[in-house]
Amino acid sequence: AQSVAQPEDQVNVAEGNPLTVKCTYSVSGNPYLFWYVQYPNRGLQFLLKYITGDNLVKGSYGFEAEFNKSQTSFHLKKPSALVSDSALYFCAVRGGRPTFGRGTSLIVHP
């Protein structure tokens, strides 16, 4: 069975600093990996996806994610955090039916 782990419930970072939100996965075959962001009382918004190709995927709002097959990881990154990036972030894997991580709350302090 496939699974996704987001080991941190919360990540705190100062505005202007780089941020990383971690995700590891387990799936049979080649993974399709996604990151979504959820703001309060809103639905999830697609940020980026990895299917094949370059291990560094660029997405919306300046976010990027690095696929590492040997470590089965797909960490979300941004070089310089903004207060407006504060939200809940979900990693998802689709080796079949989608499986979402439990989410990581990102808090960017002014």
Partner 1 sequence: DAGVIQSPRHEVTEMGQEVTLRCKPISGHNSLFWYRQTMMRGLELLIYFNNNVPIDDSGMPEDRFSAKMPNASFSTLKIQPSEPRDSAVYFCASSLGGGYNQPQHFGDGTRLSIL
Closest CA to 47 of 32, 37, 57, 56: 37
Q: Of 90, 91, 106, 108, which lies in the binding site for partner 1, with binding defined by CB under 8 A? A: 90
**58 in contact with partner 1 (CB under 8 A):** no
**5 in contact with partner 1 (CB under 8 A):** no
Q: Of 7, 10, 46, 56, which lies in the binding site for partner 1, with binding defined by CB under 8 A? A: 46
Site string for partner 1, 6-45 (x = CB under 8 A): --------------------------x-x-x----xxxxx
CB of 42 to partner 1, least distance (A): 5
HEC profile of the chain? CCEEECCCCEEEEECCCCEEECCEEECCCCCCEEEEEECCCCCEEEEEEECCCCCEEECHHHCEEEEECCCCEEEEEECCCCHHHCEEEEEEEECCCEEECCCEEEEEEC
Nearer to partner 1, 42 or 58 (CB): 42
Interface with partner 1 (CB under 8 A):
32, 34, 36, 41-46, 49, 51, 90, 94, 96-98, 100-103
